[in-house]
Structure 1
């Protein structure tokens, strides 16, 4: 197949636009998620993440070559129906925690909560753009990026709170389980990881779109209403 230089430029421009709209918000959300884990861990007495240079918003320190770059970028470029990825988990040394069982609960919960916070911030920014910048050439583009940002963060929040190891939800659930039960679950983490991957690849996790869309609609409606738009 022969492509003209004009056609190639359009293709590259389209790919660049998709990366800007989908990948950049995704990357920021992942970094903030991991930063939140490290920040709460430090507040709870463990500064391992800080000592290893992981208490940072620098994408390079959280980047996993496959989960953060290859899979998401391939999904965007090829427009696959499954968009999936991850970052390197922030290290936590439970020996530095005063009450590991309770502290790990809050450290794990910090990740999904951080994404909910970003979704709220994104909805407020949409309201600000709609009220003060609508009509400007870049306003619609900004709103589309912010919409993607909100949905991305909500998906990350609801996905990570699933009560399966190695997700944050598994560690949150551990707070309410007998220690021996949680130990067995952690010992079989490789099995639950496989189950999780099957759920992703088969599209069964599309059920998460129900709470995501519900939350998205309510966040944007509340934000716009709060600004009287």
Structure 2
């Protein structure tokens, strides 16, 4: 278990990136569903970039704090899921796929934004010792992590929502039935095979850093 000082500092640099990650992820789903004709998220007040409307007290606040203070290698957590009614979509399969992908796309946008901030911060003289450097670093890493994690084809994650649209109806129903066990499958991956998530996450971090032009000495 890390020291209290180390945990508090880590919490301070991860709090903003984590909040941006879960907010943009859920907002991505909400805006995509609304664009494709479903007003459910708007009626629920979720068509917003305000983090307060997406926060889940346990998943967004308590669970990440527990993960940090107990030294869990992944910052686990979640926001309130956005409810959608796909019967309002004009093209069911296409719109379901794009709405599912909009969440991870939101995380990619935040990762790129953090990379630009880090690039200009380093140019202005910010170093690895500074809070801003570490916050933007985690902004890139956490959002790439959330993007990859949510693209796993494990119900009820977004990746499963995409795969489901390409399956025959009976097979899709059987696939969805795995959802109640999804949490335990994900915990097994985190504990026993974290490389499944970590390797593509680090690849995406390096790709974002390269495309944005963050100085290599910054990582």
Distance in 1 of aligned mates of 2:177 and 2:47: 28
Distance in 1 of aligned mates of 2:135 and 2:214: 20
Contiguous gaps of at least 5 residues in structure 1: 1-9
Match of 2:140 in 1: 150
Q: CA deviation at 1:168?
A: 0.2
Deviations 1:147-182 (A, max 9, x none): 100000000000000011100000111222122211
Q: Secondary structure in 1 aligned to 2:154?
A: coil
2:208 is the alignment partner of 1:216: no
Distance in 1 of aligned mates of 2:192 and 2:57: 23
2:97 is the alignment partner of 1:105: yes
Q: TM-score, normalised by structure 2?
A: 0.87
Distance in 2 of aligned mates of 1:84 and 1:27: 12
Distance in 1 of aligned mates of 2:71 and 2:132: 21
Count how many residue pairs are aligned between Structure 1 and Structure 2.
Answer: 214
Distance in 2 of aligned mates of 1:208 and 1:31: 21
2:157 is the alignment partner of 1:178: no
The correspondence of residues 66-105 of structure 1 with structure 2, limited to 5 A, is 66-105=58-97
Q: Secondary structure in 1 aligned to 2:187?
A: helix
Q: CA deviation at 1:140?
A: 3.3
Distance in 2 of aligned mates of 1:32 and 1:215: 18
Q: CA deviation at 1:203?
A: 4.0
Q: CA deviation at 1:194?
A: 2.7
Q: State which of 124, 128, 135 in structure 1 corresponds to 2:116.
A: 124
Deviations 1:79-131 (A, max 9, x none): 33342111111000112111222111100000111111211122122211222
Match of 1:141 in 2: 131
Distance in 2 of aligned mates of 1:138 and 1:220: 16
Q: State which of 152, 160, 179 in structure 1 corresponds to 2:150.
A: 160
Structure 1 residues 194 and 138, CA, compared in 2 at 3 Å: closer, same or farther?
A: closer
Structure 1's consecutive aligned runs of 4 or more residues displaced over 6 angstroms after TM superposition are none
